[in-house]
Structure 1
Amino acid sequence: MEENSKVTPTEVKGWNWGAFMFNWMWGIGNKSYLPLLVFIPLFNIVWIFIVGAKGNEWAWENGDYKDVATFKAVQATWNRAGLVAFVVAIIGSLLYFMFIGIIMSLVVNSLSTSGY
């Protein structure tokens, strides 16, 4: 059994979609409180990317995982949920902007044909 130490194994490092998308909730769930800095306006735009990149390392250092496999299994759930949330957010944003574009186009066409 591999013991959790303060040295982060290389296989733990990497991007974490759960930390990126669910930053403050992920932080609390993983005993890592640096993600709470996302509540600072404007700073949070940059900080969410740092949390996504460094999240696994913080979770390993603050967690009590018995080995890397257990850690990866726990973070795999966060990663799946985060990736799904990211895809849904992108699709939702695209649909939103398409809808706004269509509405604005209809309004402009309506105004131009009514003589305003």
Structure 2
Amino acid sequence: MDENGTIVPAEVKGWNWGAFMYNIFWGIGNKTYLPLLCLIPGFNFIWMFVCGFKGNEWAWQKGDYKDVETFKAVQATWNRAGIVQFIIGIAFIALYFLFIGAIITSILNGNFEYQHNSY
């Protein structure tokens, strides 16, 4: 039971990729505004993990769901979007570091030539 007296079913608890990746938009969409704390620079990195961990509980408490199945169906859409965004983000980070690594290796090996046109 939470502080509002709402019982959170055990099958609702768990990680929510939508709350983790889309914390601010997810919070507004689920009428729970604690994810807006992700707007605080520095604190947001820690708070996004709290959102992922506590998101389902917050959404259940603030939502008007008739049963757990309906809740899970709604959150499944957020979870799919969140996991896809996470994978895309990891792929971009990996490509970024590979690109930067390739440039640095090129510079250090002397393969990167600076062309200077003199007139």
Q: Distance in 1 between the 2:6 and 2:97 partners?
A: 45
Relative to the length of structure 2, the TM-score reads: 0.87
Aligned to 1:84: 84
After the TM superposition, which residues 30-49 of structure 1 pair with which residues of structure 2 at under 5 Å, given as runs?
A: 30-49=30-49
Gaps of 5+ in 1: none
Aligned to 2:64: 64
Relative to the length of structure 1, the TM-score reads: 0.89
Aligned to 1:53: 53
Higher Cα Rg, which structure:
2
For 1:68, give the aligned amino acid.
Answer: V
Q: Distance in 2 between the 1:53 and 1:86 partners?
A: 15
For 1:75, give the aligned amino acid.
Answer: Q
For 1:74, give the aligned amino acid.
Answer: V
CA-based RMSD of the aligned residues comes to 1.8
* 8 Å CA contact 2:106, 2:112 repeated in 1: no
TM superposition shift of 1:110: 2.0
For 1:52, give the aligned amino acid.
Answer: G
Aligned to 2:7: 7
Q: Distance in 1 between the 2:76 and 2:46 partners?
A: 24
SS class of match (1:96): helix
For 2:103, give the aligned amino acid.
Answer: I
SS class of match (1:110): coil
TM superposition shift of 1:105: 1.0
1:25/1:113 CA distance change after superposition, 3 Å: closer
For 2:39, give the aligned amino acid.
Answer: F
Q: Which has the higher contact order (CA 8 A, sep 6+)?
A: 1
Aligned residues: 110
TM superposition shift of 1:109: 1.7
Gaps of 5+ in 2: 115-119
